[in-house]
Structure 1
Amino acid sequence: MEILQSDIVFLTDEDRTRASQLPVGERQLLIKNLFVPYHTYNLGYDAIRTLHMPVAGGLPNLGVVGGLIGPSRCGKSMICEAYVANHPQRDGETGVEHPVVCINASIDMSRRQVGSRVHRFTSSPHRILSRTDPIEWTVDRLLKCRTELLIVDDAQYLFFEHRLAWSATEMFGVVKDVLDTKKVSVMLVGDSRINKFVFDIDAFKNRGYRHSDLEPLSNTPEDLEKFGALLTSIDRRLPFAKPSQLARYRDDFHRYSEGRIGLVMNVVQEAGYRALNDRTACILVEHLRAAVHRMVRPGDDANYFGYKSRAM
């Protein structure tokens, strides 16, 4: 059993009691796949939507390229996964269609690997697919699956991370081949180096490249208020009998994560698993201490959740 991107909210005592009585495996998956819409998420999701479907109720915008830019662990991958989940595969006249395809780039990725990942994402049976060469899967498969938007997560790995010039050129060629069909748009998701690469390439810049920059929530009063609300929203989705009062530890969470949702969820998941093992009614501060103790960067002297004053 797998629960994907769970957005189940437990608001009442009765809801929480029922959640706490679910089989432990289901509760574990609810924690693992907990999904919370929040300020940065909304900005990123809207950036993808406006590239793909710029007019509400209108047609997909095809043959254009955009960027979703932000530092690691600020929630970009979660946004991509949510967008794909809201645009699932469908039955078409010639087979299964995938309106939105998302693949992850990796260091030293080759054109063949790009094709293989497109193939794996669209692996449902498709009556008219006949090619067996993965080099051709990227464009051919996207067209036959009627894909409107290709999202490439961690796209900086296509062009950087010790790539040789010819290798980066090959990856540029993959993206350009997709765009040249004028039937598929591309969203490049990753860090700020993507903008540096794209703005040096007329073939991308001339296609109206537009980018949205995501930043972690800062320590300004306004952002800290949003960050506290985010912790409360996470709390409402945890399958425990009582609230864990995560917002009480707002400053510790923010100091550790620097406002990045991915790092917050790392601590919450680890602490949640510990609470399940201890069969407590909620996540306790000692669970947070034990979780962060294993994750803190060497040399970081901050006393998150007071873990240094306790024996782990």
Structure 2
Amino acid sequence: MTSSAALSRAEAASLSPGERQDAMANIFVGHDRFTEAMDAIKRFHMPVNGGRPDAGAVGVLAGESRTGKSYALKMYAHDFPAYQGEDGMIRPVVYVDMPSEGGFRSVLQAVADALNVPHTKSMDNGTLDKLIRGALHAQRVQLLLLDEFQEVFDTSKKAMIAHGRGFLRKILNLGTLNILCAGLLQTYEQMAGDPQLTGRGNLPYKIIRPYGWANEDEKKLFRLLCDRFDDKLPFATRSGLRREAIAHRLHWVTNGNIGRLKTFIYQAGCLAINDASDQITTVHFAAAYDSIIPLGSKFHPFRDDMSRAPVPKEEKDRVEIAANGNALTKQVG
């Protein structure tokens, strides 16, 4: 696969259609939300620059889906690869994606697999739990990253929450590592209401938010983000994504969510490649929105004036949360 990042704009535009499609699908844009997430993870892992890893605390990285939490966690874990020690494998940072099905047993299996702990179907949960804790200690794990943790702390699964709480507490009792749980905003709310967890390091947290538009600083950051995407697109000319008229519409469609922004640009970009266009135009964005427009919607951001645009429900929810003084508006770090 050819990386368009190493090519000039003209060279990237001359790639085959499939290569250009891959280039768009694999675009990574460094942005302030990613930097915030990485810095928060680093401070939780190593609170003192040049110091030692912290241990015995649980923290939370929370935010809406597709705001870049998982990517940051994976990148951080990638910076601390496993290596062969004198007595076996050493895994300083371990990333685990929590399964959405299978109950607490599947959670244990996911953690065991990340640590390369062998297990069988006949093995009971207590034994597997003990093996996991033994591996965490033997492999000198400093930081355990548990992604999609809302699958464990789900109010509709009270038994799962009880098992998850006990699992975290037993690991923290080792006194050798920290645990960072990442998930939706509700994840923090559920964990913050549990004194058994807040008592383990005061539950430090970081909320990763989508970009706003009403705030001028947020608007500038979002337009800069659009510009960085534009800079990496495999087209002969820039698509003008930073222009306020275009960026405003992109923000409305994606609600300032970087994951959705990337997907929507990709969808419009595919249409532009099919048209042999030198850039993504509003015609392509309009056609891309046609395929995702909510049923019954009477507003089209790429055909109607933005003065007619309704406030997206998610934006209303964010305003309501801020107005109510919800704890999630208080960012740490």
Scaled by the length of structure 1, the TM-score of the pair is 0.83
CA deviation after TM superposition for structure 1 residue 225, in Å: 0.7
Q: Structure 2: which 5+ residue stretches go unaligned?
A: 306-333
Task: Output the CA distance in 1 between the equivalents of 2:236 and 2:114.
Answer: 38
CA deviation after TM superposition for structure 1 residue 266, in Å: 1.6
2:242 matches 1:247: yes
Task: Output the CA distance in 2 between the equivalents of 1:139 and 1:288.
Answer: 51
CA deviation after TM superposition for structure 1 residue 307, in Å: 8.2
2:278 matches 1:281: yes
Aligned length: 295
Aligned to 1:177: 170
Q: Structure 1: which 5+ residue stretches go unaligned?
A: 124-128
Determine which of 44, 55, 58 is the counterpart of 2:51.
Answer: 58
How much identity, in percent, do the aligned residues show? 28
In the TM superposition, 1:11-26 aligns within 5 A as 15-26=8-19
| Corresponding letter in the other structure for 2:293 | V
In the TM superposition, 1:223-242 aligns within 5 A as 223-242=218-237
2:159 matches 1:159: no
Aligned to 1:143: 137
Task: Output the CA distance in 2 between the equivalents of 1:57 and 1:25.
Answer: 45
| Corresponding letter in the other structure for 2:234 | P
1:275-304, Cα deviation, whole Å (9 max, x unpaired): 333343332322222222222333443312
Aligned to 2:204: 210
Runs of 4+ in 1 over 4 A off after TM superposition: 129-134
In the TM superposition, 1:2-81 aligns within 5 A as 9=5, 15-81=8-74
CA RMSD of aligned residues (A): 2.7
Contact 1:107 1:161 (8 Å CA) reproduced: no
- Range moving further from structure 2, 38-47 or 276-285: 276-285
| Corresponding letter in the other structure for 1:275 | A
CA deviation after TM superposition for structure 1 residue 223, in Å: 0.7
| Corresponding letter in the other structure for 1:244 | S
Aligned to 2:86: 93
Determine which of 265, 280, 286 is the counterpart of 1:268.
Answer: 265
- Range moving further from structure 2, 179-188 or 87-96: 87-96
Task: Output the CA distance in 2 between the equivalents of 1:83 and 1:299.
Answer: 42
Contact 2:239 2:280 (8 Å CA) reproduced: yes
Aligned to 1:193: 186
Contact 2:96 2:145 (8 Å CA) reproduced: yes
With over 3 angstroms needed to count, the CA separation of the structure-2 counterparts of 1:172 and 1:15, relative to structure 1, is: same
Aligned to 2:294: 297
CA deviation after TM superposition for structure 1 residue 261, in Å: 0.9
State the secondary structure of the residue aligned to 2:96.
Answer: strand
Contact 1:67 1:212 (8 Å CA) reproduced: yes
CA deviation after TM superposition for structure 1 residue 67, in Å: 0.8
1:25-68, Cα deviation, whole Å (9 max, x unpaired): 44333322221121222212211111012222322212211111
| Corresponding letter in the other structure for 2:91 | H
